[in-house]
Amino acid sequence: MTLQFKSLTAMLAATTMLAGPVLAAGTHPETGEALSDNQTFTYRILDEHSSVDPGVAEDVSGAEVIRDLFEGLMNQDENGNLVPGVATGFTTNDEKNVYTFTLRPEAMWSNGTPVTAGDFVYAWRRAASPELASPYSWYLELMSIENAAAVIAGEMPTDALGVTAIDDHTLEVRLSASLPYFPLMTTHTTTFPVPQAVVEEFGAEWTRPDNIVSNGAYVLTEHVPQERSVRERNSMYWNNDATIIEKVVTLVINDDDTALTRWKAGELDRTEIPTGQYPSLSQEYSGEALSFPRLCNYYYTFNLSESGPEAFKDVRVRQALSYAVDRSIITEQVLQGGQIDAFTFTPGATANFTVPEVAFGVMSQDERNAAAVALLAEAGYGEGLEHGPLTFELVFNTSEAHAQIATVVAQMWKQTLGIDVVQANMEWQIFLEERGNQNFEMARGAWCGDYNEASTFLDLLNSASGYNDGQYNNPEVDALLAEAKTMADPSANYTRIEEILADEMPVIPVYHYAGNMMLNAGIQNWPINNVEQNWYSRNLYRVDN
């Protein structure tokens, strides 16, 4: 593709045009590239989404659709930075517990009515209400909105929630604690507005294509469950002139390999790359196989509670097991998708987080293996030693990728340390139950950040956290985490916590995610630098290729 740079004045003129005809086929206003006549983007998802109601949606595929259909207070740009959405900006007080958002007057719903602060108030109260029983209502509590917990529990009425419409275009939010990164959280779909009149008229069916009214760049025009959904340009959207993609089609294809075949046949523009296929695909389809860092980790957790094995209570055993894992084999040979070896729990891609150099991260694998052997012997596990040979069970949910990694890691432990590991795959629900009830010895885990800040990961290891399945308990870590909540720059605390984790090894970090996908070369401006992968179809455009 060739970029043609027009004169500076022409570019300025194009971007300052307020209400001009949208060029469907023509040239891109900023880069000047020739746009294709076909501005349809077709992508694949693995499973049907659970809902497109912002207050209720809980999965990634639903969130992708909602980000196109609706718009919240703030958005993210291609690099993950905060940019205005329905709100033009916000102000806050010194304690950072009251935020005031100014809404733009030109924001419209697709039926022509204006978007007001009252819509946000209604939506947030609705999301917290016990009647809706939204599985994501806890997010409002996470945002520290005043009285959120009480409203969710039904102890206070929904209008006690700390959000008020000062007037039609001013929204005030009161928090129960100081939260410097609060605005980051308004990019999440649970906080998006919903049209009160439509919801009250149609009830649970308000998201049907015939009924739905939305305020984003697109409206839902077709939805055949388990097969496809289609959204098309919303001409009432306040920034409609900047939208280039006319139509977005989502296809549900359950099998990774079939999806890839159909991508090759040209039926879709984007699909995931099956495990291990990235190198050959990036050679065969150069430029169309993408790999970029993601805000997720992958680890094995020890059961450190009462019901856990005795061996795991010894820190030397835990360190030995962690050292003996050759992460480079997993990332470079099994996954081969640009994943990153993990020696810390928090991924390096997290904003304002620099990966501290922990001791075992800088050793070579041979050094690590030698240290592991020594540690295990010192702890007394092995043939002829005090506690005898070590053996335990590793549980993970059934999936080829998890099984592959588990098999490889089990073999590493066997060949380096002489340990016998029983691999136990379980169906997802059973896996969640067993892990949640500490009914395991070692379990696989993974976590994706809710927002782009290290606490979203490290909070998991807080002893009070409901997600701390290994029941790791360290008061120093708890104290550091509590302190970090209100610090202007908490990175020192986060670094200290990671160092403690490397010493105590309550979990074995394995790798940090990389996003892998095949993207048709015609689709431009995919936000590969956005680690949360909050992408918006209105920022994409298509050129002929």
Separation of first and last alpha carbons in the chain: 8
Interface with another protein, residue 433, by CB under 8 A: yes
Query: What's the maximum distance between 2 C-alpha atoms anywhere in the chain?
Result: 82
CB of 539 to another protein, least distance (A): 27
Enumerate the H helices of 394-489 as residue ranges: 400-417, 428-436, 455-458, 475-484
Mask for 47-66, x = binds another protein (CB under 8 A): xx-xxxx--x-x--------
Using CB under 8 A as the binding rule, whether residue 389 contacts another protein is answered as no
Query: Any contact of residue 496 with another protein (CB under 8 A)?
Result: no
235 is a site residue for another protein (CB under 8 A): no
Is residue 123 part of the contact set for another protein (CB under 8 A)?
no
Q: Can residue 420 be called a binding residue for another protein (CB under 8 A)?
A: no
DSSP letter (8 states) at residue 242: G
> What element of type H or E holds 251?
strand 247-252
200 counts as binding another protein under rule CB under 8 A? no
Which residue lies nearer to another protein by CB, 50 or 235?
50
**Structure tokens, 429:** 């629900």
* Spatial separation of the C-alpha atoms in residues 51 and 112, rounded to whole Å: 24
Whole-number Å distance between alpha carbons of 532 and 524: 19
Binding to another protein by CB under 8 A, coded x per residue (else -) over 148-167, reads: -x--xxx-------------
Residue nearer to another protein on the CB measure, 25 or 446:
446
- Residue among 89, 130, 157, 287 that touches another protein (CB under 8 A): 130
The mark string for 285-314 relative to another protein (x by CB under 8 A, - otherwise) is ------------------------------
Cα atoms found within 13 Å of the Cα of residue 211, Cβ hemisphere only: 17
Q: Please pick, from the candidates 254, 354, 463, 529, the single residue that binds another protein as defined by CB under 8 A.
A: 254
Cα–Cα distance list, 116 to 107, 276, 302 (Å):
8, 48, 49
Give yes or no for residue 458 binding another protein (CB under 8 A).
no
Question: Does residue 432 touch another protein according to CB under 8 A?
Answer: yes
336 touches another protein by CB under 8 A: yes
The DSSP symbol for 384 reads T
Q: Hey, how many other C-beta atoms are within 10 angstroms of the C-beta on 478?
A: 16
Pairing of strands 270-272, 507-519: antiparallel
Among the candidate windows 35-43, 93-101, 233-241, 431-439, which touches another protein by CB under 8 A? 431-439
| Rounded alpha-carbon distances, angstroms, from residue 445 to 80, 288, 297, 330, 432 | 25, 30, 8, 16, 10
- Using alpha carbons, list the distances in angstroms from residue 295 to 215, 400, 435, 532: 28, 22, 23, 6
Which region among 112-120, 137-145, 480-488, 513-521 touches another protein (by CB under 8 A)?
137-145
Residues 6+ positions from 46 with CB-CB distance below 8 Å: 61, 252, 253, 254, 256, 272
Interacting residues with another protein between 263 and 282 (CB under 8 A): 264-265, 267, 274, 276-277, 279-280
Q: How far is the CB of 258 from another protein (least distance, A)?
A: 5
Residue 427 binds another protein (CB under 8 A): yes
**C-beta of 48 vs 314, nearer to another protein:** 48
Segment 201 to 230, residues that bind another protein, using CB under 8 A: 204-205, 207-208, 224-228
Pick between residue 204 and residue 492 the one whose CB is nearest to another protein.
Answer: 204
Q: Rule CB under 8 A: is residue 135 a binding residue for another protein?
A: yes
Number of chain positions touching another protein (CB under 8 A):
82
Q: Which stretch binds another protein (CB under 8 A): 135-143, 286-294, 472-480, 537-545?
A: 135-143
Of 15 and 437, the one with the shorter C-beta distance to another protein is 437
Q: Binding to another protein by residue 25, rule CB under 8 A?
A: no
Taking alpha carbons only, the member of 300, 298, 512 closest to residue 394 is 300
**DSSP string for 451-462:** SSSTHHHHGGGS
Judged by CB under 8 A, which of 423, 471, 473, 474 binds another protein? 423
Tell me how far the alpha carbon of residue 330 is from its chain's centroid.
22
**Do 173 and 439 form a contact (C-beta atoms < 8 A)?**
no
